[in-house]
Chains A and B, each alone.
Chain A
Amino acid sequence: MERNLNYNFAFLDEGSKREIRRSILHAIAIPGYQVPFGSRELPIGRGWGTGGIQITMSVIGPDDTLKVIDQGSDDSVNAVSIRKLIGTTTGVKTTTDSAEADIIQSRHRIPEEPLRADQVLVLQVPQPEPLRSVDPHEEVTRRLHGDGEYTGIWVNLFERYLQTGSALRGADHPVLTDGRYVMNPSPIPRYDNPKLDHAECLYLFGAGREKKIYAVPPYTKVESLTFDDQPFRREDMSGRKCRLCGAENVYFDEFFDAATGERMFQCSDSGFCKKRREKGGNCHEE
């Protein structure tokens, strides 16, 4: 992408980037701990991925390749605008192939292809605090984190179990990072939770509105919280097949054809789906 020279490289000024990088290092040093940082103003409203953008802007270099995903899709409005903003202010190469990218910024999904040690996944987080539903006060929740007092989160899971018969949440199911801090994995589907555990890549989480950065370094133990007699289960994707690329055992989006009443599935990770189709083989697009 062509770089717009009216802006500093990666939009933010060097001092801001340095401060954010320091917070990132702090976060990596304490897995799962939420590091406060001075969230900057961006030409995109808070709550629209500004935490992720600031992390990406701070760590990106001119030789990096960028991929931006929104709910698995490379072409949704949000993904396109963010890619355009970062692309025009840095001039970096962009891609839709997660294997080619050095930095992947994502909302609500972790790509299907396992990420490598030289890759960074930046996740946009709306609500970083797993204890927020337990207590609205920042002072109290920090104290609870300090004491490792996570009873409130377990009570919420128990309440879910009592009311619905399952303690598992659809998205944003809380995880225990490195045996110490409970964290929100950003609203990724429960299907993606196991990908955080002992991953090769670095996961960075940015919450712009809430002004917090946290991280899961490579090869860190990440356990999803579950009761002893209620084992963790991913969403059941068996018996489903992508209508475009024929993939099985991936996370699917579900469609209904209103006219025929037909139920269809399609890979939620559009880059992955596109790559499979380009390689040929299972392609049966109409």
Chain B
Amino acid sequence: MKNRTPVLEGSHITVRFGDGCPYCREHTELEKGRCPVCRTIWAVRDVSFRLYEGEILGIVGESGSGKSTLLKTLYFDQPATSGDCRIARYHDGQKNIFDTSSQQKRYLRNHLMGMVYQNPILGLRMKISAGANVAEKLIAAGNRNAGSMIGRTEELLQHVEISLDRLRDQPRYFSGGMQQRVQISKATANNPPILFLDEVTTGLDLSVQAKVLDLIRSIQKELGIAMMIVSHDLSVIRMMSDRTMVMLGGRVVEEGLTDQIMEDPMHAYTQTLVNSLL
């Protein structure tokens, strides 16, 4: 795996809310990423990672550790303050995607990425039907053939076990688990090489959680999509991911194979995290 070129490579990504001051530029280890002098929040600080083809990278950390912000930055929901990010399938990884025009960013989002949000309201339009929601991704990628889009939408919704008589219903009448499944089929509608999952199972009961995670697993096996999964729940990360990054106060404190991190955590924070799980 090491020899392959990564599908997505981020280096020194920083997202900062506030202007910063000499104190917080100097001190990288701030509590909760917040500067006590100028109150600037360093949500993501100097984060580098590589995402390889067909792998699942888990990001774990407490609330406010910057894991969701990192994902939102990669999906262009949140502008990066500084840093560099490359996608293998975009100009052969020769271009920093943060430096592109807003049209190019829309292109990247629509063709090469998918996102499943924790809150389905962010990922779905609640007042149009589930079918049209899934078709949105196809339309965004340039499909203008209504017949073929209906066919593909039905196929996708069947795949996530949503019966076709709900195709014309609005997702606001769906259960939480169903909404997440609609989001997943929307995000994977045009087979993107990269999929981001932000706390997909938080707020779902355990049996539904298992079902959604199984579904993600099977999609990953079938399509070989590279995924980044964010969760504060270590059991989700342990079940799903090949490699894991542990974030604290906006920084990555530990990174490695999931088994390794679970068995032999090095950083004090990871140790408490793993202990609390057992």
Contacts of A147 in B (CB 8 A): 102-103, 106
Indicate whether B167 reaches chain A with its CB closer than 8 angstroms.
yes
Inter-chain contact total with CB atoms closer than 8 Å: 52
- Within 8 Å by CB of A155, from B102, B106, B110, B136, lies B136
- Within 8 Å by CB of B139, from A143, A158, A162, A230, lies A158
| Residue of chain B at shortest CB distance from A143 | B102
Contacts of A151 in B (CB 8 A): 110, 136, 139-140
CA distance A149 to B132 in the complex (A): 17
Indicate whether B232 reaches chain A with its CB closer than 8 angstroms.
no
CA distance A148 to B107 in the complex (A): 12
CA distance A148 to B106 in the complex (A): 10
Contacts of A161 in B (CB 8 A): 146
Contacts of A146 in B (CB 8 A): 102
| Residue of chain A at shortest CB distance from B170 | A159
Contact at A158–B146, with CB atoms within 8 Å? yes
Indicate whether B144 reaches chain A with its CB closer than 8 angstroms.
yes
Tell me the count of chain B residues lying within 8 A, CB to CB, of chain A.
Answer: 22
Q: Please, what's the 1-or-0 string for A155-194, where 1 marks a CB less than 8 Å from any CB in chain B?
A: 1101101110001000000000000000000000000000
Contact at B103–A155, with CB atoms within 8 Å? no
Indicate whether A227 reaches chain B with its CB closer than 8 angstroms.
yes
Contact at B145–A155, with CB atoms within 8 Å? no
Say what secondary structure dominates the interface of chain A.
Answer: helix
CA distance A227 to B144 in the complex (A): 5
| Residue of chain A at shortest CB distance from B135 | A158
Chain A interface extent, by class? 10 to 19
Contacts of A149 in B (CB 8 A): 103, 106
Contacts of B22 in A (CB 8 A): none
Closest approach, in angstroms, between the C-beta of A231 and any C-beta of chain B? 11
Of B56-64, B123-131, B189-197, the one with at least 4 CB within 8 A of chain A: B123-131
CA distance A194 to B128 in the complex (A): 29
Contact at A163–B129, with CB atoms within 8 Å? yes
CA distance A159 to B146 in the complex (A): 10
Contact at A159–B132, with CB atoms within 8 Å? yes
Indicate whether A154 reaches chain B with its CB closer than 8 angstroms.
yes
CA distance A151 to B149 in the complex (A): 14
CA distance A143 to B106 in the complex (A): 12
The answer to whether residues A148 and B135 also contact, given A163-B168, A227-B145, A230-B146 and a CB cut-off of 8 A, is: no
Indicate whether A228 reaches chain B with its CB closer than 8 angstroms.
yes
Contacts of A262 in B (CB 8 A): none
Contact at A162–B103, with CB atoms within 8 Å? no
The answer to whether residues A162 and B132 also contact, given A148-B103, A151-B139 and a CB cut-off of 8 A, is: yes
Closest approach, in angstroms, between the C-beta of B147 and any C-beta of chain A? 5
Contact at B128–A156, with CB atoms within 8 Å? yes
- Report 7 cross-chain contacts, Cβ distance below 8 Å, ordered by A residue: A146-B102, A147-B106, A149-B106, A162-B129, A162-B132, A163-B168, A228-B144
